[in-house]
Structure 1
Amino acid sequence: MKISEQLREKIEEQIATGELPPGSALDEAMLVERYGVSRTPIREALLLLSAEGLIDIRPRRGALVKSPSPIRLIEMFEVMGEVEAMCGRLAARRMDAAERQGLVEAHGACEAARAAADSDAYFYGNERFHMAIYSGSHNGFLQEEAMSLHRRLRPYRRLQLRVRGRLDVSFSEHAAVVQAILAGDGDAAAVALRDHIVVQGERFADLVASLEALK
């Protein structure tokens, strides 16, 4: 992983947990001193965060943290659920044999991380799993939209996986998605993905509690 991507992940988590609340200034010189790197990876990391919608970069004025409210998060996860459902429906119809095998392998990587109780490894396997479905939709525009929203929700999806018991639940939800896609059942794949993504009820309360606990 590039230095800029490592920096992005560190700052992402600080934003998601409230360590860097909305309105916080991200000064390049301060970040250079804090992380002991040159300005180039700092600037690259800030551009990545800006693309995710987590910060605003203002010409000659630096960057400021943006962070969605709980209501905004619910709205974003609702839309993500519908987008992923559409990807799953199309992937079930359009994935070729190699793509289906790639999905199974990504599911296997998640299984290994779950067995090791390694939420970070599961997070990366989870990204690979979802990206395989986006690609398998064979709809370039839909894939771009899915990836854009996925990036914006990335730090919050990562925090979700740290909630007690979430790895086991996520893995079982993935299993239902894989089963539906391999069976070519687009409707079942759409339902399974929507239920997997949408954050509501106890799951949303757990996410908010995890944000508060990490502040």
Structure 2
Amino acid sequence: MSEAVRVRRGLEEAIVAGRYHPGDKLNLERICAEYGCSRTPVRDALQHLSTSGLVQIRPKHGTFVSRLSVRELAERFEVMAELEGFCAELAARRMPPAAAEEMTAGLIACEQFVDQDDPDGYYDANSRFHRAIYAGSGNEFLRQEAEKLQGNLEVYRRLQLRVGNRMVRSLGEHRTIARAILDGEPEEARAQARAHVKIQGDEYTEMVLGLQGLLQE
């Protein structure tokens, strides 16, 4: 794990846990001291958090904790669901062997982290699984857009895994998606991948309640 990733994940956790509140200004020197690193990884971490909407970088003023609206979060997940579905559909039609092997390896890693009850480790394996599908779509522009939005939603998707029994259910959904892709069933792959990402009903409500400090109505 790079220094920038370590700092970014630490700041994500701190913001979600309420150590920082919406509107708070983040002190660069204090963060450097807390994580025992130079300014460069901290700046890289803050830039990543800015793209995900957790912070706002205001030139000449500093970096501040921000909030997405509930509507904005829902809209991003809706688009992510469609991108995931399209990637899975194309992958079922033309995924090359190397991408299929990487997808399977990601799935196996997901299983191992479920056994260890490790949601953060699971998320990393989860990202590996999904990125293999993006690559397997054979559409480079689509892959780039899917990876970009996945990065924007990373903290929210990571926290979603801590809601109820979501990690175990996510693994089951991964298996269904992988099976449809490997069996060459594009319509089924699209439907299952789309449903996997789209948050509905009680699950969405639970996640929003867990993110009340970050979201605005």
Sort the Cα spacing of 1:213 and 1:112 in 2 relative to 1 into closer, same or farther, 3 A: farther
SS at match of 1:79: helix
After superposition, what is the alpha-carbon deviation per residue over 1:73-120, rounded to whole angstroms, capped at 9, x for unaligned? 111111110011111111111211221111111101101111121111
Is 2:61 the counterpart of 1:90? Answer: no
- CA–CA distance in structure 1, aligned partners of residues 80 and 44 of structure 2: 26
Partner of 1:145: 145
- CA–CA distance in structure 2, aligned partners of residues 211 and 57 of structure 1: 21
Partner of 1:20: 20
Is 2:3 the counterpart of 1:3? Answer: yes
Displacement after TM superposition at 1:213 (Å): 9.4
Partner of 2:170: 170
- CA–CA distance in structure 1, aligned partners of residues 183 and 173 of structure 2: 16
Superposition RMSD in Å? 1.8
Displacement after TM superposition at 1:139 (Å): 1.0
Q: Indicate conservation of the 8 Å contact 2:21/2:213, yes or no.
A: no
SS at match of 1:57: strand
Question: How many residue pairs are counted as aligned between the two chains?
Answer: 214
Q: 1:96-111 alignment to 2 at 5 Å?
A: 96-111=96-111
- CA–CA distance in structure 1, aligned partners of residues 139 and 74 of structure 2: 26
Partner of 1:188: 188
Sort the Cα spacing of 1:204 and 1:26 in 2 relative to 1 into closer, same or farther, 3 A: same
* TM-score for both structures, normalised by structure 1: 0.92
After superposition, what is the alpha-carbon deviation per residue over 1:47-90, rounded to whole angstroms, capped at 9, x for unaligned? 22223333222222211222212222111111110011111111
- CA–CA distance in structure 2, aligned partners of residues 68 and 15 of structure 1: 13
The worse-fitting range, judged by mean Cα deviation, of 203-212 and 109-118 is: 203-212
After superposition, what is the alpha-carbon deviation per residue over 1:10-46, rounded to whole angstroms, capped at 9, x for unaligned? 1123334444333221221221233232212211211
- CA–CA distance in structure 1, aligned partners of residues 198 and 73 of structure 2: 10
Partner of 1:45: 45
Amino acid aligned to 1:162: R
Q: Percent identity?
A: 42
Displacement after TM superposition at 1:212 (Å): 4.7
SS at match of 1:22: coil
After superposition, what is the alpha-carbon deviation per residue over 1:119-172, rounded to whole angstroms, capped at 9, x for unaligned? 111111101011111111111111111111111110011111112211110011
Partner of 2:78: 78
5+ residue gaps, structure 1, are: none
Sort the Cα spacing of 1:17 and 1:133 in 2 relative to 1 into closer, same or farther, 3 A: farther
- CA–CA distance in structure 2, aligned partners of residues 3 and 76 of structure 1: 28
Partner of 1:157: 157
